[in-house]
């Protein structure tokens, strides 16, 4: 199960991702664009919606920047997202000033590397809004 968590990412919600140049005006749209980009293997959109200093907690580990995530788990998260479908169970959003926290629960089921996957995953994403770059994901925490 630790292997699954370390390569863990979910497939997108079938919402098309924006072009890299487009600023997203709504926090949930940023999260949906990120998830869609993972499913489509669009690393440019992934890099566009994540802050350079993003902090990603996954499988007991942590990646402390976009550069670190890109060099380590991004490729395996794309592969997992493209292989194992997920379904949104519930989502909440809390927004104040220039910060939004989005919590989601997903059912993830399918086969990956010859193993059947059937689990529920919790996701907490913090998105920050700045005049220079618009909404960007600054924190992600995945657990199952």
Residues contacting residue 16 through CB under 8 Å, at least 6 positions apart: 36
**pLDDT mean across residues, the chain:** 87
Q: Buried (b) or exposed (e) across 56-70, using 16+ Cβ within 10 A?
A: bebbeeebeebeebe
- Percent of the chain's residues with pLDDT above 70: 84
Give the pTM: 0.84
* pLDDT higher than 90, residue 61: yes
The answer to whether 107 and 86 have CB atoms below 8 angstroms apart is yes
């Amino acid at each position: 199960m630790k292997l699954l968590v370390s390569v863990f990412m979910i497939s997108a919600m079938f919402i098309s991702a924006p072009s890299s140049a487009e600023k997203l005006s709504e926090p949930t749209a940023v999260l949906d664009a990120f998830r869609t980009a993972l499913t489509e293997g669009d690393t440019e959109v992934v890099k566009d919606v994540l802050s350079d200093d993003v902090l990603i907690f996954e499988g007991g580990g942590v990646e402390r920047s976009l550069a670190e995530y890109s060099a380590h788990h991004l490729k395996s998260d794309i592969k997992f997202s493209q292989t194992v479908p997920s379904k949104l169970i519930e989502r909440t959003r809390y927004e104040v000033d220039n910060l939004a926290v989005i919590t989601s629960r997903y059912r993830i089921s399918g086969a990956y590397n010859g193993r059947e996957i059937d689990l529920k995953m919790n996701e907490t994403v913090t998105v920050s809004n700045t005049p220079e770059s618009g909404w960007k994901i600054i924190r992600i925490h995945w657990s199952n």
